[in-house]
Structure 1
Amino acid sequence: MSAAASFTPSKPSLTTNDSAVLQALFDAESSPSSAVNVESSLPALPAHLNIPAKEHSFLQSREREIISALSSQSTPTRETLESAISELSTLIASHPTYPSAYANRAQALRMLIEGPLPASTTETSETEAEILFNNTDEQHLTTLLSDLGTAISLSTPRSPADPVSSLQARLLADTHTHRAYLLLKISRRLKSAGDNEEASVPAQLKELGSEELEEMASRDFFFGGRYGNKVAQQMAVQTNPYAKMCGAIVKEAMRKEIEGGI
């Protein structure tokens, strides 16, 4: 009788792609910021915006004048903010393809909506969320999100393989991260409001629901990180729905293992 054949169990293996996917899910440092080709020699703004270098210099100078009024005050007054928003709106009307003006108007609108933080509170995410959604003008919030979307659309290269300038990368990192922050706050506000409370957010966002808004925030955090924002890289991991799902599975397996050992 022949000896029984022996079998050596093969070790499970992952393809290169599988390994890359798993690493991207759980490791913020693996965010493919290196996939963005930043070339300092490029003109500051992409050619398709049709803003010559001389005109761009003028726009930057005018923009700095407007923003300086905000930075000169530790807590800008409502009148100062409204004046800056009005001046940025005028700049946008005369130069509708200038992305930075939209990004700065969005920031000024955010400051106008939130107002000064109470002196007795710290700037925790929960406190900011309450200020943003309890004392807000929905139209301002709608304009704010629209401005961020326009700034992103104008700044994004036509092809993912196209190189971007340093200014372009910084603008995309900031605007994607800013929008992600807001979408995440709106998502959490809707989730906490439930069916018993009316959340003060635009109807279109309510229709999307908290889960979809969180996924949208995760995508924006991913792109913010891709263009160089380190905080966005970390937040992309925390809000990634697949990473959260895998994390939940691991936690449940550990819980069962612990209970089984008791």
Structure 2
Amino acid sequence: MTTIAQARPSLTTNDAAVLQALFDAESSPSSGITVDSSLPSWPATVNISEADLSTLRSQETEIIHRLQASESPSQETIQEALEALNSLLERYPTYPSAYANRAQTLRLLVDPKYNENPHENTESIADDSLFTPQAAHLSSKIFADLGEAITLATPASPADPVSTVQARLLADTHTHRGYLLLKAARVKKTRSDQETEPVGPERLRGLSADQLEEMASRDFFFGGRYGNKVAQQLAVQTNPYAKMCGAIVKEAMRKEMEG
């Protein structure tokens, strides 16, 4: 755990506490969620019986195992998995996990290496091909599925406890969407003002790189809140206030060293 030490000029107790919260992911509210292993897998609003959930989990596991049998599954294997997930969701349209897994499967259509290590670091973010006009429909579907999974799995109140399964899905799905938003922000930053090629789904195209990064930071915050350690760190790194304070602190230290 990082400790913010007081330095000349000395910080007030409140200032030190603010800096501690900004720069140390472990001190933030991201660890405040209550996970109750005795709870049912999903909220009552999902409205799927435990017997049906058991069958769904088995079918879903079989679909994912076929995809994971190879680090770079064939297009035919990916399409078969998508068809199976589509069929599953037609029968059970409120099943959150299937939306999350369909989003990950759609990613494989343009980013086969995503199958190797989807939630470990920002290097696994999809390449720029997901943010081209040709992939706009695909990226829209990915964001829609991630959003639907999050909506269905999120508790009615932030204070409500969540199940182990629910927390894991919310951690992974918020982190996945955060990665994509961060990549969209980076793509936008690398393009000149003269370039008019759209970035990602239509609803994101009018947003600036900074706005996309702020949205990514929010998703990383929630990903960390539900237990993803990498998301906790990324939430701090992408937090606009932490970045601003970091710049102020660096400038103050530079001036102090020069003086």
Letter of the 1:217 partner, please give it: A
Answer yes or no: is the 8 Å Cα contact 2:189–2:209 preserved in 1. Answer: yes
Q: How many residues align?
A: 243
Please give the residue correspondences for 1:60-139 in structure 2 after superposition, counting only pairs within 5 Å. 60-115=57-112, 125=123, 128-133=126-131, 137-139=135-137
Q: Counterparts of 2:198 and 2:93 in 1: how far apart (Å)?
A: 32
Identify the residue that residue 143 of structure 1 maps to in structure 2: 141
For residue 29 of structure 2, what is the aligned residue in structure 1? Answer: 32
Q: Is the 8 A contact 2:126 2:180 kept in 1?
A: no
Which sections of structure 1, spanning at least 5 residues, go unmatched? 1-10, 118-122
- Tell me the secondary structure at the aligned position of residue 162 of structure 2: coil
Aligned-pair CA distance for 1:135: 9.1
Alignment of 1:49-60 (within 5 A): 49-60=46-57
**Is contact 2:184-2:199 (8 Å) kept?**
no
Q: 1:177 to 1:12 in 2, by over 3 A?
A: closer
Residue type of the partner of 1:77? S
The equivalent of 2:230 in structure 1 is 231
Contact 1:44 1:167 in 2 (8 A): yes
Does structure 1 conserve the Cα–Cα contact (< 8 Å) formed by 2:131 and 2:139?
Answer: no
Could you report, residue by residue, the CA deviation over 1:97-117 in whole angstroms, capped at 9, with x for unpaired residues?
Answer: 100000000000111122459
Residue 129 (structure 1) shift: 3.2
Q: Which runs of 5+ in 2 are unaligned?
A: 1-9, 115-120
Larger gyration radius, structure 1 or structure 2: 1
* 2:246 corresponds to: 247
Q: Superposition RMSD on alpha carbons, in Å?
A: 2.3
Alpha carbons of 1:116 and 1:230: their partners in 2 closer, same or farther (altered >3 Å)?
closer
1:101–1:22 Cα change, 3 Å: same
Determine if contact 1:136/1:200 at 8 Å carries over to the other structure: no
Structure 2 CA distance for partners of 1:233 and 1:136, relative to 1, 3 Å? farther
Q: Report whether the alignment pairs 1:170 with 2:168.
A: yes
**How does the TM-score come out when normalised to structure 2?**
0.86
